[in-house]
Chain A
Amino acid sequence: MTTLLEEQVQAKVDLPLLANIHQAVELDEYYVMGHRTCAGCGPALSYRLACKAAGPNSIFLGPTGCMYVANTSYLCVPWAVPWMHTQITDAGAVVSGISAAYEARIRKGKYKGTFPNIYVFAGDGGSSDIGIQAASAMMYRDHDAIFICYDNECYSNTGIQTSAQTPYGAWTTFTPPGPKIPEAKKLFPKDFARGMIALHPAMQYAAAASISYPVDYMNKVRKAANIHGAALVHVHAICPKGWGLRANQVLLCGKLAVETGTFHLFEYENGEYTYQYQPKAFKPVTEYLKIQDRFAHLKPEHHQKIQEFINQGLKRCGIKIPVEAV
């Protein structure tokens, strides 16, 4: 007699897309309560939604970062699916190895189940900074696996240090503002997802999502899982502690990031981009900046510089929606 789990795992079918929030709520939890992430943690929410969308036939990899350290303290794990720690540097390599192992073992008759969906859940540092080499190699080799980058725009676990995705003007403990450097961080961040798409022209699916739009995000995870080959999901996961927000402002902040055009929700499929958020006009970025303490030191000219960067980004991506004047 097979158990329910075995039935679910062995009947490998494409994960159906969710029509509404009620279908999403129905799904089982595979990232369960009982972990040491901060109250209102955006990455934890993104992890929970990804696991919920992924279902039981999944393996999750956790490179070092918040979602390793805060989730697994004291020899326990909150995942109901197999999970493995990797170094922050080599998540893309380890997932490649697991994918190759299943390819070989199934082909040689050494494993009886079906091919699992294998997910990397890497932070912005583990994907766009120190982990970019392995991440790129995994996408280049087109392993059947899903790379999820939870982007909280800093190294939060080590105490809020700047990463390659930390935006211009943000306070971190490595970019404090002062009379000599009034804008704190002087560099503009990497555009990770679009950079990866450009670097790997054979990639079949990539998407950018936000925890403030949960059903959209879960569907993007499912689409990525259904692809045979490498897929990328970049999810904007707000860090209340690192960004200077109240815990209950996390979803508001994620929403404002999208509504100001700071973070674009998109899908890349068959070589084409589609943008999910199409308002009549984007809000001015000041609305997004003013709720976050990490931007509290910025002066109007810095706000202006950020707005110009956002306008340039919209233009570069071919989004022809105007931005409201302040």
Chain B
Amino acid sequence: MANEDVKVGRQAEEDKGALGDSRPGTIKFLTGLGAAAHALRMADIDVASSYPIRPYTGVMMMLSMMAARGELDLEFVHGEGEHGQLGIAHGASSAGARAMTGSSGVGVVYAMEVYSPISGGRCPVQMVIADRTLDPPGDFGSEHTDALSTRDQGWMLGWAHTPQEVFDNTLMYYRIGEDPRVYLPQMNCQDGYFISHIPQRVVVPTQEEVNSFLPPLEFPDALDPLNPLGHGPQIFPGQGHVLEATRVNAMMGTFPVIDEVVNDFNKRFGTSYDPFVEQYKCSDAEYVIFISGGHAFTGKFAVDHMREKGMKIGLVRTRWVRPWPTDYLADILSKFKAIGVVETNNSFGAARQCGILTLEVATTLYQCDNKPVLTAFMAGLGGEVIRLDEFYYMGDVLKDAAAKGSTERTAYWIGFHNV
């Protein structure tokens, strides 16, 4: 019943042209992983390192097929595990190649050691992540805790909510990460199965258009016998914090670059992405659902329904978690009466037993004059679908919160309180 509604929702949005019917280019029917693979092909990547784990594996299957058919001149390296995958990408990027890798779930955290050396080496590697719940038990479902666990390692981190956005993000992330003002690795995340495995219409531009948007990588200090340099020596005792400060500056300096690149993308390809945050029906909203990732797709449809019932609800979807668009979100969120953060992740023992995103949202709002009521919705854990009726329940909680100025709970466990 609920699934039926979701299907209708997708159809409705397609009819409105929200998936880019108006854009010039070839229309393909692609999953999120297929969209990523096609974008990587058009980005002319040099090295990919693979290791199988559900659900991200599809992107590597497609890339290996493209390499076998000669559609992409690629060194496809079979990693010995995710730790090795990241090591291979690190080496390839240090030697000046455009490198990519990817993973899911426990694989993402198995590679944990290598994230910081890559971002500290300022290697603009891109990693395609299709989220999966961490063990135990063996659970294939999408949950963002895997990629969010790496948020403190100096990688840019953002979620797409449609295969089209995955395609576009792949190109935009490379251009941002390889910008001489930035040089940072990027995590191009999508929800496992919900985005990674469900085909939708994707508009694919021509190779010439992609080439003009994304120039070849020019890594300034690549390992090269013609220009001998030492990468990553130990430092003076007083230099550690300076080196960290340069990485902070690179990360915080991405804001104008993201702004510039996304606007350039919109101009070239006829899209209308907000560089940082998508606002859906927020102009007169009193309370909003705050969300990151694929469940925003269902969320928007739920907002439409609730609007029809006269509720003043909207949806705010952040396109970035690192860097966290603090000022941007502070301006947007501080004008509402209540905010419910949909957490598709878990942080055991976190403040108020919310998830990771609520901590960030609370910090963002702390300096604002108007502090909305803030609560967390622990939903989609273990990869469960967030159903329309669950979004309606969240809407009711938020409506109540906006009226009363408080909520009963700091975190609502969807699937427990609402039954």
User: Looking at the complex, which of B74-82, B143-151, B292-300, B373-381 is the stretch in contact with chain A?
Assistant: B74-82
B229 on the A face (CB < 8 A): yes
CB of A102 within 8 A of CB of B83, answer: no
A101 interfacial contact with B, CB 8 Å: yes
- Does B11 have its Cβ within 8 Å of any Cβ on chain A? no
Distance of A72 Cα from B232 Cα, bound (Å): 9
Give Cα distance in the complex from A263 to B30, angstroms: 58
Q: Give chain A residues whose Cβ lies under 8 Å from the Cβ of B84.
A: 90, 92-93, 96, 133-134, 137
Taken together as a complex, chains A and B put the C-alpha atoms of A76 and B93 apart, in Å, by 22
> Judging by beta carbons under 8 Å apart, are A101 and B83 in contact?
no
Is B411 on the interface with A (CB-CB < 8 A)?
no
Which of A77, A82, A105 meets B225, CB within 8 Å? A82
CA distance in complex: A259, B90 (Å): 42
> Is there contact, CB below 8 Å, between B73 and A97?
no
A97 vs B73: C-alpha distance when bound (angstroms): 16
* Contact pick for A90, options B47, B83, B225, B232, CB 8 Å: B83
Q: Quick one: which of B49, B117, B224 contacts A97, CB cutoff 8 A?
A: B49
- Most chain-A CB neighbours within 10 Å: which of B74, B84, B227? B84
Contact in complex: A102, B79 (CB < 8 Å):
no
Tell me the complex Cα distance, A256–B317, Å: 69
A291 at the B interface (CB under 8 A): no
Say yes or no for A188: interface residue by CB 8 A criterion: no
Task: Let me know if B205 is at the binding interface, CB within 8 A.
Answer: no
Query: How distant is B286 from chain A, measured CB to nearest CB, in Å?
Result: 50
Which of chain A's residues have a CB closer than 8 A to the CB of B228? 79-83
Across the interface, B92 reaches (CB within 8 A) one of A89, A101, A116, namely A101
Q: Which of A79, A87, A103 contacts B113 (CB 8 A)?
A: A87
Q: Which of A72, A94, A99, A116 contacts B234 (CB 8 A)?
A: A72
Chain A residues closer than 8 Å to B117, beta-carbon distance: 85-87
Q: Provide the bound-state CA to CA distance between A57 and B228, in Å.
A: 10
CB-based contact A104/B97 at 8 Å = yes
Binary CB contact string for chain A from 118 to 152 against chain B (1 if under 8 A, 0 otherwise) = 00000000000000011011001100000000000
Let me know if A58 and B225 touch, CB within 8 A.
yes
Partner of A6, one of B49, B74, B216, B226: B226
Q: Is A111 an interface residue (CB 8 A)?
A: yes
Against A, the Cβ 8 Å flags (1 = close, 0 = not) of B225-239 are 111111111111001
Provide the B114-125 mask, 1 if CB < 8 A to any CB of A, else 0.
Answer: 100100000000
- Distance to closest chain B CB from A84 (angstroms): 4
| Interface: A199 (CB within 8 A) | no
Q: How far is the CB of B88 from chain A (nearest CB, A)?
A: 4
A101, B234: Cβ atoms closer than 8 Å: no
Residue with the greatest number of chain B CB neighbours at <10 A, chosen from A9, A104, A111, A133: A104
In the bound complex, do residue A97 and residue B93 qualify as a contact, i.e. CB atoms below 8 Å apart?
A: yes
Q: Decide if B234 touches A74 in the complex (CB within 8 Å).
A: yes
CB proximity of A108 to chain B, nearest CB, Å:
6
A101 with B95: CB separation less than 8 A: yes
Instruction: Assess whether B96 is interfacial by the CB under 8 Å rule.
Output: yes
**Which of A9, A59, A73, A93 touches B87 (beta carbons < 8 Å)?**
A93
Which residue from chain A places its CB closest to the CB of B125 in the assembled complex?
A97
Chain A contacts for B231, CB-based, 8 A: 82-85
A244 at the interface (CB under 8 A from B): no
Determine whether the beta carbon of B225 is less than 8 Å from that of A72.
no
Asked if B303 is at the interface (CB within 8 A of a chain A CB), the reply is no
Contacts of A94 in B (CB 8 A): 87-88, 90-91, 94
| Contact status A87-B97, CB under 8 Å | no
A107 adjacent to chain B (CB < 8 Å): yes
Q: Are B46 and A96 in contact (CB under 8 A)?
A: no
A73-B234, A94-B87, A104-B73 given; A9·B226 CB < 8 A:
yes
- Number of chain B residues close to chain A: CB under 8 A: 46
Q: Is A215 an interface residue (CB 8 A)?
A: no
Bound-state CA distance A59–B92 (Å) is 13
Given contacts A84-B232, A97-B47, A97-B49, contact A137 B80 (CB under 8 A): yes
Q: Does A196 contact B (CB under 8 A)?
A: no
Within 8 Å of chain B (Cβ to Cβ): is A313? no
Question: How many angstroms between the C-alpha atoms of A110 and B97 in the bound complex?
Answer: 9
Inter-subunit contact B74/A98 (CB<8 Å): no
**A91 CA to B262 CA in the complex, in Å?**
37
For the complex, is B35 an interface residue (Cβ under 8 Å from A)? no
Whether, in the assembled complex, B223 has its beta carbon less than 8 Å from a beta carbon of chain A, the answer is yes
Measured in the bound complex, the distance between the Cα atoms of B229 and A89 in whole Å is 22
Does B89 interact with chain A (Cβ within 8 Å)? yes
User: Does B99 sit at the interface, judged by CB under 8 A?
Assistant: yes
Minimum CB–CB distance for A52 against chain B, Å? 15
With contacts A82-B225, A84-B223 taken as known, whether A100 is within 8 angstroms of B75 at the C-beta atoms is yes
In the assembly, what is the distance between CA of A58 and CA of B79, in Å? Answer: 24
Does A95 sit within 8 A of B, measured CB to CB? yes
- List which A261-302 residues lie within 8 A (CB) of chain B: none
Bound CA–CA A91/B74 (angstroms): 22
What residues of chain A lie closer than 8 Å to B93, measured between beta carbons?
97, 101
**Chain B residues positioned under 8 Å from A74 (CB to CB):** 233-236
Check: A171 CB closer than 8 A to any chain B CB. no
- The answer to whether B91 and A96 have CB atoms under 8 Å apart is yes
Question: Chain B residues with Cβ under 8 A from A77's Cβ?
Answer: 230, 233
Complex interface bits, B314-358 against A, C-beta within 8 A gives 1, otherwise 0: 000000000000000000000000000000000000000000000
Any B CB within 8 A of the CB of A75: yes
| CA of A89 to CA of B223, assembled, Å | 20
Given contacts A9-B225, A75-B235, A94-B91, A105 and B49 within 8 Å (CB-CB): no
- Residues on B with C-beta less than 8 A from A72 are 230, 232-234
Contacting residues, chain B, for A89 (C-beta < 8 A): 83, 87, 113
Given A89-B87, A133-B81, A136-B80, 11 more A-B residue pairs with CB atoms under 8 Å apart are A75-B235, A82-B224, A82-B230, A83-B231, A84-B91, A84-B232, A87-B113, A90-B90, A98-B95, A104-B46, A133-B83
A to B CB contacts below 8 Å, 26 in the list: A69-B234, A72-B233, A74-B235, A75-B235, A75-B239, A76-B233, A82-B228, A84-B231, A86-B91, A86-B117, A87-B113, A90-B83, A90-B113, A92-B87, A97-B49, A97-B77, A98-B95, A100-B77, A100-B88, A101-B96, A103-B75, A104-B74, A105-B46, A111-B224, A134-B80, A134-B84
Chain A to chain B: the 9 pairs with minimum beta-carbon distance, closest first: A97-B91, A93-B87, A77-B230, A90-B87, A72-B233, A85-B232, A137-B80, A101-B97, A94-B91
Binding site for B on A (CB under 8 A): 5-6, 9, 56-59, 61, 68-69, 72-77, 79-87, 89-105, 107-108, 110-111, 113, 116, 133-134, 136-137, 140-141
